[in-house]
Chains A and B, each alone.
Chain A
Amino acid sequence: MDLTIMMYLIPSLIMFACGVYGFITRKNLIAILISLELMLNAVDINFVVFNRFLFPGQMEGMFFTMFAIGIAAAETALAIAIIINIFRAVKSVDIREINKMKF
């Protein structure tokens, strides 16, 4: 069975959708962070797949993915740091409690 481009893209799309869904529904900040990672990784898959299937002679997509992974790592680190701060402040990582500022 040949692997077509869609066989990669559809899972990646599902991943992205899961990420979005997870972000919107999860209550725990860490879980939300994981959802975000899902989304970013889905995008990375996109890049890689496009590179592999559409532009096989080039590496731009791959490089892009590398950088994207790096950035995602930085983001995660930063987010974790902030979550820790929050935890220190309110002793909880429940997102429902982080809505003091509104309207």
Chain B
Amino acid sequence: MFPFSFEWVWDMGHIVFHGGLWYALSILGMGMTYCIIKAVYDTVKSKDGGHGSGHH
């Protein structure tokens, strides 16, 4: 997994695998971060707007 393992040897497989993995992970991470931040923002905004409850 990590280059500091004693048997480590670089090859194509690592680039393909890690490329795909981190691509997917970053989309998920960024997406969730966006949702949470946006939700916090929306919550604060709706409170400022005077709505007492989240129920539409």
Q: Do A and B bind each other?
A: no
- Could you tell me which A residues sit within 8 Å of B by CB distance? none
